[in-house]
Structure 1
Amino acid sequence: MNMLPASLARRGVAAVAFLGVCVLASLSAAGAASAQDKPRIVMLGGPLWDPFFGAMKKGGDDAARDLNVDYQWITGTDPNNFVADYAKLVKQAASQKPAAMVIGNYFPDTLDPIIKEITASGIPVIIQHDGGASWRDIGAISYVGFSARDLGRSVGEREIKAGAKFGLCVNHVPGNTTLDLDCLGYNDAFKAAGGDSKVLTIQFSDASNPTFVSSAIRGALQSDQRIDAIWTIGAVQGVASVEAVKQSGRKIVNASLGLSLGSLEALKNGDLLFIADLQPYLDGYYALLAAYQYVQYKMLPMGQISTGPLMITKDNVDEVLKVNVTYPGVRGAS
């Protein structure tokens, strides 16, 4: 299996090993807990129309069941007003004074001040998946996720190895600093190799419309003949990119992020070179586990808990498809 550089991989393995040991202790303790001992933990995540966040929620659901936690998943539902709605939901959840909060910090410009107030009030907060650049600054006790810029750089290097010289990074959540860093890292790789890249921005309200996304990518390909590689940062957008490339008639090195049945089939058929899997199930499971352990025992893994990426290629895609049949939803494929 293909991972990020060894230094990052070692940190991820260490964190996972630590958490794996702690799961056994936590499960034993949780089994003995009475109903009134349940800590209340809320998890705020992304919209469930994206299979990525479905897997993240399932991770949280499974951890809550295993640990006997009073747990609630909260997210917005309106793509046209997601930032404002999500910020309001974070405030409302904090007003209920839960034992701990797990928050996806998707829009730091809006959410950083809110989260800083929450942590200052004494509620422990773990930042999950998005917001890895600022979690310490806003008083969070930990971050579960990945290094966005390193991820983008790794993706770019793989595409360059496949012959690409000019990449297109498709950002479908403008204002989300994680995706901004993804694209910066992607550009880092192309610049270092003597090439270049550009960003195609798609509004979040349009991001779940495959026809719109495909048309936008096809337009980018038509308007810039230099583009010979694409990276979409979501499964829906990845499937849409396959159609765009086919319609363009050009040879494009195409990669994506996040798993769906459509993207996995595209990978198996050779329409995608690889998919970067951030393993959102682990984001949900480990974030809730870490929050629980902190609330109950005041124990906490030191530093960032790395959960990805794992690179899915034609060599291991069949294994992932099999897992998805056996354990639906765990890999985010739907």
Structure 2
Amino acid sequence: MKSKFRTALLSAAFGAAALLGAVLPAHADGEKYVLIHHSPDSETFWNTVKNGASLASKEVGAEITFRNPPTGDLADMVRIIQQTAAEGPSGIIVTIPDADLVGGPIADAIAKGIPVVTMNTGTFEQSKELGALLHVGQPEYDAGKGAGEKAKAAGIKSFLCVNSLFPNVAGEQRCKGFADGLGVELGTQMIDSGTDATEIANRVKAYLSANPNTEAVLTLGPMTAIPTIQALKDNGLAGDIYFVTFDLTPDVSKAIKDGIIKFAVDQQPFLQGYLPVITLTNYIRYGVLPANSVLSGPGFVTKDNIGLVESLAGQYR
């Protein structure tokens, strides 16, 4: 009796397994993913994103390739997306710096049956409209507004926004959020700094010289933060003017410890690289997908909590 019961139980189990196998998507280890972002080669922020994606790829046994326009030219990014889609990778991870420019090529890749996860730049709504699986990133306006509210609480009423991200709309969203957090209008205090370190420092010094009553400086990443640190040292304002930046590097961490930068807005770039690889792999292999996009930030790193993250800045934070 027991033997018949065991046989029936095993038969049912194998039948269920066969049925389950029939409905799951076919897969094989060794998926090939391409991560495409919009920034120039000089932007060190992406090293942490790459670390996250590389670790995830190693853990799941996939391959990851990184591509970007060397000078940050979005027309070049469009071509990169198109070329990547033509190659037919297992999945694409991509930013949305300007939905009007890159949205079409991203949607075309999805229409070809390539799974896409968007990350970093862009909104959850844009990602959904394009047909991506989900978005991993920081709501840029909300992050800027949160930073502005902290500055307002410290008594700040005016600021300079050093924006190197043109034409990426994320830059304006951060600056506008900061202005709204302060309760002021965004106007000429947002400058196009360019991406050359010397030029950034010169433009910061020129603005502060022409507007000596400026109470705060907001930089949108290490590319502008590091030259701004030098500019403030040159004109004797380092440690006196209220200085806020986005993102972490060892240099930014040191400036926080030294009292030059009040706080950094942390969007956890490691997660922006790591989670899309895991998401794509689970979707391709098992047909499972999180129900929602992922908020990777903002968090705020200050002198009080820098000790928890400084050893990881530029690598995992």
Q: Where does residue 236 of structure 1 map in the other structure?
A: 223
**Structure-2 separation of matches of 1:239 and 1:78:** 19
Confirm or deny that 1:267 pairs with 2:256. Answer: yes
Equivalent pair of 2:41/2:71 in contact (CA under 8 Å): no
Q: Where does residue 159 of structure 2 map in the other structure?
A: 167
- Cα deviation code 1:263-317 (max 9, x no counterpart): 1111110000001111111100001111111111121112221111221111122
Which stretches in structure 1 are left out of the alignment for 5+ residues?
A: 1-34
Identity of aligned residues (%): 25
Give TM-score, length-normalised by structure 2: 0.84
Question: Structure 1's 159 and 197: CA in aligned 2 closer, same or farther, altered over 3 A?
Answer: farther
Residue 131 of structure 1, aligned match among 119, 122, 126: 122
Confirm or deny that 1:329 pairs with 2:305. Answer: no
- Name whichever of 266-275 and 93-102 sits farther off: 93-102
**Structure-1 separation of matches of 2:119 and 2:311:** 27
Q: Where does residue 135 of structure 2 map in the other structure?
A: 143
Alpha-carbon deviation of 1:48?
A: 4.4
Equivalent pair of 2:244/2:264 in contact (CA under 8 Å): yes
Misfit runs of 4+, over 6 Å: none
**Structure-2 separation of matches of 1:131 and 1:56:** 16
Residue 297 of structure 1, aligned match among 281, 286, 302: 286
Equivalent pair of 2:56/2:278 in contact (CA under 8 Å): yes
Q: Where does residue 78 of structure 1 map in the other structure?
A: 71
Which stretches in structure 2 are left out of the alignment for 5+ residues?
A: 1-26
Confirm or deny that 1:187 pairs with 2:204. Answer: no
Equivalent pair of 1:232/1:256 in contact (CA under 8 Å): yes
**Structure-2 separation of matches of 1:110 and 1:75:** 15
Q: Where does residue 12 of structure 2 map in the other structure?
A: none
- Cα deviation code 1:22-65 (max 9, x no counterpart): xxxxxxxxxxxxx9532222111244432210100111000000
**Structure-1 separation of matches of 2:232 and 2:104:** 41
Q: Where does residue 203 of structure 2 map in the other structure?
A: 216
Q: Where does residue 297 of structure 2 map in the other structure?
A: 308
Give TM-score, length-normalised by structure 1: 0.80
RMSD: 1.9
1:60-75 correspondence runs (5 A): 60-75=53-68
SS in 2 for 1:135: helix
Alpha-carbon deviation of 1:177?
A: 1.4
Residue 153 of structure 1, aligned match among 145, 148, 169: 145
Q: Where does residue 89 of structure 1 map in the other structure?
A: 80
Kindly provide the amino acid, as one letter, of the partner of residue 168 in structure 1.
Answer: L
SS in 2 for 1:308: coil
Give the structure with higher Rg (CA): 2
- Name whichever of 88-97 and 168-177 sits farther off: 168-177
Alpha-carbon deviation of 1:156?
A: 0.5
Aligned length: 286
Kindly provide the amino acid, as one letter, of the partner of residue 288 in structure 1.
Answer: V
Kindly provide the amino acid, as one letter, of the partner of residue 112 in structure 1.
Answer: G
Alpha-carbon deviation of 1:249?
A: 4.0
Equivalent pair of 1:166/1:197 in contact (CA under 8 Å): no
Kindly provide the amino acid, as one letter, of the partner of residue 301 in structure 2.
Answer: I
Equivalent pair of 1:112/1:138 in contact (CA under 8 Å): yes
Alpha-carbon deviation of 1:247?
A: 3.5
SS in 2 for 1:275: strand
Equivalent pair of 1:165/1:196 in contact (CA under 8 Å): no
Confirm or deny that 1:256 pairs with 2:245. Answer: yes
**Structure-2 separation of matches of 1:201 and 1:119:** 36
SS in 2 for 1:92: helix
Alpha-carbon deviation of 1:196?
A: 4.2
**Structure-2 separation of matches of 1:43 and 1:236:** 21
SS in 1 for 2:264: strand
Residue 227 of structure 1, aligned match among 210, 214, 227: 214
